[in-house]
Amino acid sequence: MFVKGVLQPSLEQGQLSMLQGVLEKLDPSLDSCSRYLMASCQFLQKRGYFHCLYQLQQFMMDHVRAAMTCIRFFWHGATSYLQLGEQQRWLVRAKEHLRTYLQEQQGRGPGRRRSAVSSFRKMMSSSDVSRHMNTIELQLEVTRFLHRCESGTSSKAPQTSAQSPKSSKSSQSCSLPTLFGGSPMKMEVACKVKFFHFLLVMLGGKNIEEGFGIAYRVIQDFQLEAQAVYVQAGHRLVRYRQYGAVRQLLKCVGESGTATKNDCDALVLSCVSAADKAPADAKELEGLILEIKSMETKIKAYLLCGKLRPAYLLAVKLEPSRAGPLVQDVLQAAEDTQDSVMRNICSQWLSEHNKASLQGPGRPGASTWFCFQPTLDLQLVKPGTFRAGLEPPLDLV
């Protein structure tokens, strides 16, 4: 009855402030009308009257909920960090609300006389409030950094908006990633910071240390999986063909002190897999593959690029027990691409290897195999036959 008979008419006549004054005169603590105030807040939120809701929350001195409403004002409807940069004031207000709440909890804050327990005001522990304030402060740093980045790079690099080029149309209705979302959204924020960080490196921009530090803080503060963030950032850089920035990313990951060689190799392999692999990218991808330390991973990367010959030549340098499965992978790729030359070469290698395994160590067949395998000096004489002592012709693949 209160909502329909009192609140709605007050809203329609623009007299919400007058209604608040009447309620405060009746009970300065607002405890006696708390039931009506909570129903009013629920009604305003359901109808989407968030500015009226915020006004009422301030009147109720419900600082925690008021801070949440300010955070919504910050991110709602924004499609780029250029827009978020213009709405930073709402984060500042949210932080002020939480600070006021902490002061009131400690008995130092000003305000109307309150009862010992205000059940209608949202309560939160001091540690949780401090954590939320830290998140707001970090989001402010992220926003300022990305606002400058988007402003500075929009005229220098194509497609550097918040959405990826493949998903911009389908994600127009989605919210811009901020630190107020779940772990996937926080990871996207860290990825975006790293993307612009390395893009600025390539464009000769400033604030490079700032960008890397912010991304590292996001990863640490929210306990994100660092490797997953690196992979997402690498994918985005590859899609924009920023291969120099990918190499900078690899360098930073390698020097971070937390990543292993396998992590760096996995990052390169993932970037190669995500690349378009157009002829114009061949040289850049080759350079990335050469950064891989693990022979097996390097072979997988060559196969992803359709480079069967270097994959085969690397595979047969390994001991037969390690080489066998890798040569089998090359053979499968040759069959998939109908490369008869490489198919014959791989089949012959596997045939000789199987013979050597059956004969055992110390037998003539095995000694002959181990004699020519490491040198890779094979020449195709006719389909299915080889002769030792000659380099393979360069036009095999």
**Do 202 and 143 meet the contact criterion of CB atoms below 8 Å apart?**
no
**Do 292 and 301 meet the contact criterion of CB atoms below 8 Å apart?**
yes
d(CA 342, CA 331): 7
Residue burial 2-38, b: 16+ Cβ < 10 Å; e: rest: eeeeebeebbeeeebeebbeebeeeeeebeebbebbe
Q: What is the dihedral of CA 155, 157, 161, 163, to 10 degrees?
A: 160
For the chain, the 3-state helix, strand and coil shares in percent, each to the nearest 5, are: 65, 0, 30
Overall pTM > 0.85: no
d(CA 83, CA 193): 16
Q: Tens place of pLDDT for every residue, the chain, 397 residues?
A: 899 999 999 999 999 999 999 999 999 999 999 999 999 999 999 999 999 999 999 999 999 999 999 999 999 989 898 999 999 999 999 999 999 999 988 876 555 545 444 578 999 999 999 999 999 999 999 999 888 888 865 555 444 444 444 444 433 444 688 999 888 898 889 888 877 777 665 554 454 556 777 888 898 899 889 899 889 989 999 998 989 889 988 888 888 777 888 999 999 999 999 999 999 999 999 999 999 999 999 999 999 999 999 999 999 999 988 999 999 999 999 999 999 999 999 999 999 888 766 555 544 433 333 333 433 444 443 444 444 333 344 333 3
Give me the pLDDT at residue 118, please: 58
**φ and ψ at 31, to 5 degrees?**
-65, -40
Closest CA relative to residue 246, chosen from 277, 284, 282: 284
d(CA 354, CA 183): 50
Q: What is the dihedral of CA 197, 200, 201, 202, to 10 degrees?
A: 130
Give me the pLDDT at residue 190, please: 87
